[in-house]
Chain A
Amino acid sequence: MSDHAPANRKVKTVIDGREIEVARDTWALDAAAKLKIRIPTLCHHAALTPYGACRLCVVEVTKGKSTWLTTACDLPIREGLSICTNSPAVLAARRMTLELLWAQAPASEEIQALAREMGIAKPRFAARGDGENRCILCGLCVRACEQLGAGGAIGFTRRGVERTVDSPFGGQATLCIGCGSCLAVCPTGHIRGIDRAGQRRMSTWHTEMEMAACESCGALFAPLRQLEHLRPRLAEHIPIVKVCPACRRAKAAKETTLPARPGAALIRNTRK
């Protein structure tokens, strides 16, 4: 029955030779972070459910007599696991992943930088398509939309090498509320958008919508559609839907003596 114990049990695990005790089912990535062991990731974001698609966070796991490679971001820690994050097999696998991603998304400077860091001068595979692609299909935007935004505005289309992330039928993403979460989490700068002339434009999803002005300072701070989306989901007294984050913070600072931070960053990615 050991495998069906309540989830709040503590378990011990060994990562790169160091023992640590964590709550059962803690993700291996988070357990490593507690030991200040950094594992590179591309499709992972702390605010989103793990997906295990990019394969960059690969580690070597040993349990009993067997050892295998697996991803750390979606590996729950259970009894008897020992993990190595930098064995030769791990590094070779990571290198191949980056080499493949480089050839898949040849226009992404971010991927190239990561690959170079791992010692890859140039991929041995031909660049895919027209060489302009930046998307590595990590699915962060799709999950961000689902879990942080309106949900369902964008998604995966087709299978295998034809897979893409797109708005429905490649047209206007009618469900998009312009929250910009997708753009914020995209690790390769594939998703483009800009705030301009009172409008938020999510170019990649072919949507454009009006921005709302802060009741306090008058600055444009969020798309109206996003505020409409949030209103029924928030308690009455939360002023988020009327006042911009900077003014909210300023007000809070006055009340709590915390220092004010700079205003909300508006979105901007106009890379061609």
Chain B
Amino acid sequence: MPEARMNCLADLRGRQERARVAFYGPKVRLSVGVGTCGLANGAGDVLEALRDEVARRGLDFTVRATACVGLCEMEPLVDVLAPGLPRVFYHKVDPARARDLVAGLAKGLHHGDWALMRADQDKLLVDLPRSLTGSLNGLAAVPTFEEIPFYRHQMKVALRNCGFIDPLDVEEYLATGGYSALAKAMESMPPEQIIETIERSGLRGRGGGGFPTGKKWRACREAHGEPKYVLCNGDEGDPGAFMDRSIMEGNPHAVLEGMAIAAYAIGASYGYIYVRREYPLAVDHLRRAILQAEQAGLLGINILGRGFDFTVRISRGAGAFVCGESTALMASIEGQAGEPRAKHIHTSEKGVFGRPTTLNNVETWANVPVIINQGADWFAAIGTKASKGTKVFSVVGKARTTGLVEVPMGMTLREIVFDIAGGVAGGRQFKAVQTGGPSGGCLGEDQLDLPVDFDALTAAGSMMGSGGLIVMDDRTCMVEVARYFTNFLRRESCGKCTACREGVLRMYELLEKITAGQGTTADVDLLEEVSRYVADNSICGLGKSAPNPTLSTLKHFRGEYLAHVTEHRCPAGVCKALTKFTILTASCKACGKCSKACPTEAISGGAKKVPALIDQAKCVRCGSCREVCPFDAVGTE
């Protein structure tokens, strides 16, 4: 039964307590991650099976749908909270196991042998660490969270609750102390003190720029003009990134609470969350969260009876990368073409509808309630000198374990790649890591000890970006990588300014020429000249950062460019025009895998102890043989 609207802080405290009792209460609580990733792995069926089995047995269990916990590879994941027992996580659960699990739990037993890990302390909920110890009851052999390498080095602040609470039920957020920060801010912190707290915490924007959040809020508070707006950037245009989606799907109230705190501090009365159209689940979760928060008196008119009004609406983006840029995003919210403009006058002074506006990224917003609750000092104690707190990364590419990770700033890239993500998949050699999304830069082995830090990454020619992290192995051609990202940016350029529209096109043409084996050293020089021009002369961040993939690979992997243009060779064996695959007969064991994999039947032999042979006339240089060869017997020339 939905509870009534809350009209004062005491109402909130009472309701939080009731929610908490229900959450950790006497009932067994089962939850399944059904975010976009979980659903793709069959979590919907698992949820169905759990519900059905619980009903069939007439058990008084709670079954909940949660979102992504970051271990997308291990989905479907089932999280079990039973009174007096540690919290236990099961991975790769199918409907049959789900039923067995319920059967066991009906007798108070866990399936220790299938469990992935356990948590004796609910430290993941930073707001409310809670001891769960009780009898280990057959779970002693199950590793704890802290023993799993993927989790051991992580620290969940922005991702707290993601995958651990039901995002569609405000009571679950309240159970973990949700909206306490808003209450605290309204009750005991004058606006000035809130802004000062955010400033002192050292929080910087997680959307890419790393601009100090408190400074932005202050400028907006001091700007003239009514009404003021608070915006959330949920455009997440970086291909392959899903940090913000996870938060919007998994913990939408954290974003709303953060925005409400800022609105209170700044004196804003309206908010928009700009979400890309490709995120229907995120839109749905946010929409329902807004509705529930309004019904609960946590958003809308006269919030918690304190006379503060703040209304939030969702604006759905058109799915263009450039619409994530602040001025383009605001134009898009206004219903105009999503095209950037010069930012000589800050948007905190003249933003959406020409009014003072504060725009922050989803992850930035999710950090705000924690800072208010835990205090600026707590937050500022995490991280490096100028980059405080944690950062979420989506680790993809050739990492052994891919997924969503949150680490304290200051952790080295090496620790993320090797300790958390388990190094390079397939036992290959590490070559580079790309941070910062499509317009980020590539860093080689010798840069791996760089810390996760806005300024250190920028100084190295890459950037923090919004948190994409792509691991590349030794079979990656860095010129091709630059060509690939430049092609993306060329298509995503809005086309307004000459520098980006024409410049990125010419960069792309030069990169294509080099990867096609037709480049010269003069082309490499021209590429560098155009790249620097684009970086210095574009209107918006898209153009300004578009040369990063090129300039960073030129800086750290210049030899590879020169091999393409002077020796006509692609050292990684990727650029087709410059690569010839051959069988190293000494290593070939004639297993025949390559000839089966070859799409053009260019490989003869490879059976009955006759080593394989590639017919160069038929070979299309797809590299499939090299990919499948178990003995590394396919070489390149």
Once bound together, how far apart are the Cα atoms of A265 and B345, in whole Å? 39
Which residues does chain A contribute within 8 Å of B608, judged by CB atoms? none
Interface residues of B in 518-558 (CB under 8 A from A): 526, 529-530, 533, 536-539
Shortest distance from the beta carbon of B480 to any chain A beta carbon, whole Å: 21
27 chain-A/chain-B pairs, Cβ below 8 angstroms: A3-B219, A25-B345, A51-B496, A52-B341, A52-B497, A53-B497, A55-B497, A58-B537, A71-B539, A74-B344, A92-B533, A93-B536, A96-B530, A96-B533, A104-B498, A136-B498, A137-B501, A156-B337, A158-B495, A159-B322, A159-B494, A160-B490, A160-B494, A160-B495, A161-B495, A161-B501, A162-B495
Once bound together, how far apart are the Cα atoms of A139 and B526, in whole Å? 28
Shortest distance from the beta carbon of A86 to any chain B beta carbon, whole Å: 16
Chain A: CB-nearest residue to B340: A52
Interface residue? A75 (CB, 8 A): yes
Contact digits for B485-518, partner A, Cβ 8 Å, 1 yes 0 no: 0000011111111110111111001000000000
Which residues does chain B contribute within 8 Å of A125, judged by CB atoms? 506, 509
| Interfacial residues, chain B to chain A (CB-CB below 8 A) | 219, 222-224, 320, 322, 337, 341-342, 344-345, 349, 490-499, 501-506, 509, 526, 529-530, 533, 536-539
Chain B: CB-nearest residue to A123: B506
Which residues does chain B contribute within 8 Å of A163, judged by CB atoms? 494-496, 501
Which residues does chain B contribute within 8 Å of A97, judged by CB atoms? 498-499, 537
Interface residue? A22 (CB, 8 A): no
Given A53-B497, A96-B533, A160-B495, 12 other A-B residues pairs in contact with their CB atoms under 8 A: A4-B349, A52-B539, A69-B537, A93-B536, A100-B498, A100-B503, A104-B498, A126-B509, A159-B492, A159-B493, A160-B491, A161-B502
Q: A3-B219, A4-B224, A160-B493 given as contacts; is B498 within 8 A of A54 (CB)? A: yes
Of the residues B504, B506, B529, B537, contact of A55 by C-beta under 8 Å: B537
Q: Are B222 and A1 in contact (CB under 8 A)?
A: yes
Chain B: CB-nearest residue to A126: B509
Shortest distance from the beta carbon of B490 to any chain A beta carbon, whole Å: 6
Q: Which of A71, A92, A159 has the most CB of B within 10 A?
A: A159
Of the residues B223, B341, B342, B506, contact of A100 by C-beta under 8 Å: B506
Chain A: CB-nearest residue to B345: A76
Q: Which of A51, A76, A96 has the most CB of B within 10 A?
A: A96
Once bound together, how far apart are the Cα atoms of A68 and B342, in whole Å? 14
Interface residue? A224 (CB, 8 A): no
Interface residues of B: mostly helix, strand, loop or mixed?
A: helix
Once bound together, how far apart are the Cα atoms of A23 and B494, in whole Å? 33
Once bound together, how far apart are the Cα atoms of A103 and B344, in whole Å? 30
Shortest distance from the beta carbon of A165 to any chain B beta carbon, whole Å: 11
Q: Are B342 and A93 in contact (CB under 8 A)?
A: no
Interface residue? A116 (CB, 8 A): no
Interface residues of A in 141-159 (CB under 8 A from B): 156, 158-159
Which residues does chain B contribute within 8 Å of A50, judged by CB atoms? 342
Interface residue? A269 (CB, 8 A): no
Chain A: CB-nearest residue to B534: A96
Q: Are A68 and B536 in contact (CB under 8 A)?
A: yes
Q: Are B490 and A76 in contact (CB under 8 A)?
A: no
Q: A75-B342, A93-B537 given as contacts; is B498 within 8 A of A161 (CB)? A: no
Once bound together, how far apart are the Cα atoms of A51 and B256, in whole Å? 35
Once bound together, how far apart are the Cα atoms of A129 and B224, in whole Å? 48
Q: Which of B345, B506, B529 has the most CB of A within 10 A?
A: B506
Which residues does chain A contribute within 8 Å of B491, judged by CB atoms? 159-160
Of the residues B219, B502, B533, B539, contact of A104 by C-beta under 8 Å: B502
Q: Are A100 and B502 in contact (CB under 8 A)?
A: yes
Interface residues of A in 1-40 (CB under 8 A from B): 1, 3-4, 25
Chain A: CB-nearest residue to B219: A3
Which residues does chain B contribute within 8 Å of A176, judged by CB atoms? none
Which residues does chain B contribute within 8 Å of A1, judged by CB atoms? 222
Interface residues of A in 80-108 (CB under 8 A from B): 89, 92-93, 96-97, 100-101, 103-104
Which residues does chain A contribute within 8 Å of B219, judged by CB atoms? 3
Which residues does chain A contribute within 8 Å of B538, judged by CB atoms? 55
Interface residue? A124 (CB, 8 A): yes
Interface residue? A70 (CB, 8 A): yes
Query: 4 shortest A-B CB distances, which residue pairs?
Result: A163-B495, A100-B502, A160-B493, A74-B342
Q: Are A53 and B345 in contact (CB under 8 A)?
A: no
Once bound together, how far apart are the Cα atoms of A1 and B219, in whole Å? 8
Once bound together, how far apart are the Cα atoms of A7 and B33, in whole Å? 54
Q: Which of B491, B499, B502 has the most CB of A within 10 A?
A: B502
Chain B: CB-nearest residue to A139: B496
Shortest distance from the beta carbon of B527 to any chain A beta carbon, whole Å: 11
Shortest distance from the beta carbon of A49 to any chain B beta carbon, whole Å: 10
Once bound together, how far apart are the Cα atoms of A139 and B341, in whole Å? 13
Q: Are B502 and A101 in contact (CB under 8 A)?
A: yes
Q: A1-B222, A4-B224, A159-B492 given as contacts; is B345 within 8 A of A55 (CB)? A: no
